[in-house]
Amino acid sequence: MFSNTKLSNRKYFLIAGLIAMLFAGVIYAWSILKVPFKTELGFADSALSLCFTFTMCTFCLGAFFGSKLYKKIGVTLTCVIAGALSGLGFFLTGCVPLNSVLLYVFYALFAGFGIGIAYNVIISVVNAWYPDKKGFSSGVLLMGFGASTLILGNVIDLLFKAESVGYKATYMLLGTVIAVVIIGAGVIIKAPSADVIFPENQSIKKANKESFEATDFTSAQMIKRFTFWRAFILLVFLTAVGNSVISFARDLVLSVGATDSWAATLVGVLAVCNGLGRIITGVLFDNVGRRLTMLFSNLLTIFAALITLVSIMLGSLPLCIVGLCLTGLSYGSCPTVCSAFVSSFYGTKHFATNFSIINFNLIAASFIATLSSNLMSISGGYTLPFIVLLSISIAALILNFTIKKP
């Protein structure tokens, strides 16, 4: 017998999740959000880069906390907490005084932690409605998360520059809207009950299926597996390329001849490709399987780093644009790969916690991004950072070929 919540309602949960992720993803628009703190409040580039690193740390911690919390108090109350924390964080960031450590407290701690909670809960619960289309569901949600920089980032940039608004009012407005949207999504989205019958996924051909029997691993069992750590390091390397470029995307395109207005647009293009990479990778996973999807993601990252490096050496804006697009696609593929890898190798029963654990790769990747920024400052250019990024993406490919069984 079917649950009172009909299977047909899952598309509404997906839409609500997409909208919530769109607003939650603004945390990644740091290259735009940081501008007033540099130009008006005197924050150094290194301090702003460190803030983004801390934000990734609290984001991952929030995701882990959220995976535990929603099982105890439910989706709605967890989203209320997530919305309140992230909304308050953005709101108070607009009140940060000159060169103050409060930026780390409000943006990195409050907003980062709250967004992390929302991220994990929404993905876990909505994906539970799509066991037959895990890649598609993850891709749609993560597309919204990635596209936020373009859709909301340009609006934020305009509001920052508007004399009648300014950055303080913009942050306060943003915090209010984020809180309302995330809490609203928590009211709408419901977890499926045990009696819901889902269709089977028939799209992956037998030749592309994994050669092992699927098993539900607990988090403790998962982290004892050597394969998990190989995949974890691989994802650290792949994510680090995108994280690094996101942290200095605006300055990167300016260095190869882009105008200020072009720079803002190209940051948005990076975000669009980020979103597209998530849904493309999701569809790929549903149709060709985990192994080929991970290989595709890895090769994208190698070509992204290589072409961007060549564009810097030649001072070519067109090549840099191609590099940014590929970087966005490759970076966008990483969260979907995380979701696909965990569910394929370690099952769905403990997915929420297992997914939050593998997402800790963002912390290590963000420290590599900080290293990239420091290398840029030391060397006076972007050549050395991209040599490092290209090297680690090739190292990831070697690891990729070793991942066959849990």
DSSP 88-101: HHHHHHTT--TT-T
* CB of 300 closer than 8 Å to CB of 334: no
Tokens of 287: 């149709």
Of 398, 397, 382, which is closest to residue 324 (Cα–Cα)?
382
Does residue 91 register a pLDDT over 50?
A: yes
Query: Model confidence over 63-89: pLDDT tens digits?
Result: 899 988 988 999 999 999 999 999 999
CA distance 365 to 370: 9
| Ramachandran region, residue 255 (left: φ > 0; alpha: ψ -120 to 50; beta: rest) | alpha
**What is the domain partition of the chain in residue ranges?**
8-193, 216-406
CA distance 219 to 234: 19
CA distance 89 to 102: 10
Q: What is the pLDDT of residue 2?
A: 39
List all residues 6 or more positions away from 227 whose beta carbon is below 8 Å from its beta carbon: 345, 403, 404, 405, 406
Place of tokens 């995330």: 182
Of 215, 210, 204, which is closest to residue 347 (Cα–Cα)?
215
Lowest mean per-residue pLDDT among 106-120, 164-178, 326-340: 326-340
Amino acid at 388: V
Mean per-residue pLDDT for 382-400?
A: 95
Mean per-residue pLDDT for 156-177?
A: 90
Tally of CA atoms within 13 A in the half-sphere of 171 that contains its CB: 25
Question: What's the Cα-to-Cα distance from 234 to each of 157, 219, 281, 392, rounded to whole Å?
Answer: 34, 19, 17, 9
* DSSP-derived 3-state class of residue 201: coil
CA distance 274 to 267: 11
CA distance 261 to 157: 11
Please provide residue 18's backbone torsions phi and psi, each rounded to the nearest 5 degrees. Answer: -60, -45
* CB of 338 closer than 8 Å to CB of 283: no
| 260 vs 85, residue with greater confidence | 85
Does residue 31 register a pLDDT over 80?
A: no
Q: ∠ CA(66), CA(237), CA(333), 5° rounding?
A: 65
CATH of domain 216-406: 1.20.1250.20
Burial of 333 (0-12, 13-18, 19+ CB in 10 A): buried
Amino acid at 56: M
Amino acid at 35: V
Name the pLDDT band for 116 (thresholds 50, 70, 90).
very high
Please provide residue 311's backbone torsions phi and psi, each rounded to the nearest 5 degrees. Answer: -65, -35
* Domains 8-193 and 216-406 in one fold: yes
| 250 vs 172, residue with greater confidence | 172
| The dihedral formed by the CA atoms of 55, 309, 293 and 20, expressed in degrees to the nearest 10 | 30
Q: What is the pLDDT of residue 282?
A: 80
Mean per-residue pLDDT for 324-342?
A: 88
| The dihedral formed by the CA atoms of 348, 353, 355 and 358, expressed in degrees to the nearest 10 | -130
| The dihedral formed by the CA atoms of 293, 53, 256 and 299, expressed in degrees to the nearest 10 | -10
Tokens of 180: 């309302």
Query: Model confidence over 284-320: pLDDT tens digits?
Result: 887 888 888 899 999 999 999 999 999 999 999 999 9
* CB of 26 closer than 8 Å to CB of 178: yes
* DSSP-derived 3-state class of residue 349: coil
Does residue 232 register a pLDDT over 90?
A: yes
| Mean pLDDT over each residue of the chain, to the nearest integer | 86
| 310 vs 194, residue with greater confidence | 310
Does residue 183 register a pLDDT over 50?
A: yes
Name the pLDDT band for 187 (thresholds 50, 70, 90).
very high
Query: Model confidence over 265-279: pLDDT tens digits?
Result: 787 788 778 778 888
| 393 vs 191, residue with greater confidence | 393
Name the pLDDT band for 199 (thresholds 50, 70, 90).
confident
CATH of domain 8-193: 1.20.1250.20
* CB of 42 closer than 8 Å to CB of 166: no
